[in-house]
């Protein structure tokens, strides 16, 4: 299967990826599965895939949790090593194109006091919900790479 088809299957076609890269064969190996499992567990238990009800939680803490994906993913990549190529391809794209724009924008705004303003807090939560949609898809993708049941919708009502 081509990587392009893999992204299509998970409705992540909004990602900008070099055409030649998308033509690459998609064949996850054992190290990819191990890495996917590690990140899957992290994502499944973080605000990146869990609802943040309006009356609950804290925007700054939510932003920090989303940002933590960078360090967590880097650590997984270092630990799993160079044989973890397929996982690396998708993880880096998701971090750089979905997570980074969100965290960069809101980190700057939070430093400027945005979370003291009710309207900005509401805007943050709306944008977080949009990011969560793509990250839930990515988490489902990770479960498939890891060959485990996808529990991203376990608590949907």
Residue 108 CB burial class (10 angstroms; 0-12, 13-18, ≥19): exposed
Q: Give me the phi and psi of 47, to 5 degrees please.
A: -65, -15
Is residue 155 assigned to a domain? Answer: no
Is residue 100 assigned to a domain? Answer: yes
Is residue 151 assigned to a domain? Answer: no
pLDDT recorded at residue 93: 87
Note the pTM of the prediction, 2 decimals.
0.83
Q: Model confidence over 82-126: pLDDT tens digits?
A: 889 889 988 988 999 899 999 999 999 999 999 999 999 999 999
3-state secondary structure of 127: helix
Picking from 135, 127, 130, 129, the residue whose alpha carbon sits closest to that of residue 152 is 135
| Domain hosting residue 50, numbered range | 3-146
Is residue 152 assigned to a domain? Answer: no
pLDDT recorded at residue 17: 59
Structurally, the chain folds into a number of domains equal to 1
How far out from the chain centre does Cα 32 lie?
16
Q: Which residues of the chain have pLDDT under 50?
A: 19, 157
pLDDT recorded at residue 56: 87
Is residue 156 assigned to a domain? Answer: no
Is residue 79 assigned to a domain? Answer: yes
Is residue 117 assigned to a domain? Answer: yes
Is residue 85 assigned to a domain? Answer: yes
Alpha helices in 10-117 (DSSP H): 19-22, 30-44, 59-80, 85-94, 100-111
Residue with tokens 């998308």: 22
What the block records as the tokens of 93 is: 């794209």
Report how far residue 39's alpha carbon sits from residue 141's, in angstroms, rounded to the nearest whole number.
Answer: 11
């Amino acid at each position: 299967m081509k990587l392009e088809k893999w992204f299509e299957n998970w409705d992540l076609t909004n990602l900008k990826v070099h055409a030649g890269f998308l033509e690459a064969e998609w064949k996850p190996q054992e190290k990819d599965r191990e890495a996917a499992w590690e990140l899957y567990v992290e994502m499944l238990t973080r605000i990146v895939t869990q609802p943040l009800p309006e009356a609950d939680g804290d925007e700054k803490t939510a932003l920090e949790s989303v940002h933590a994906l960078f360090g967590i993913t880097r650590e997984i990549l270092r630990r799993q090593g160079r044989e973890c190529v397929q996982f690396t391809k998708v993880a880096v794209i998701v971090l750089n194109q979905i997570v980074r724009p969100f965290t960069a924008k809101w980190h700057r705004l939070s430093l400027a006091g945005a979370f003291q303003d009710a309207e900005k807090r509401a805007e943050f939560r709306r944008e977080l919900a949009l990011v969560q949609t793509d990250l839930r898809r990515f988490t489902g993708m990770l479960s498939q790479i890891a060959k485990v049941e996808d529990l991203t919708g376990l608590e949907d009502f």
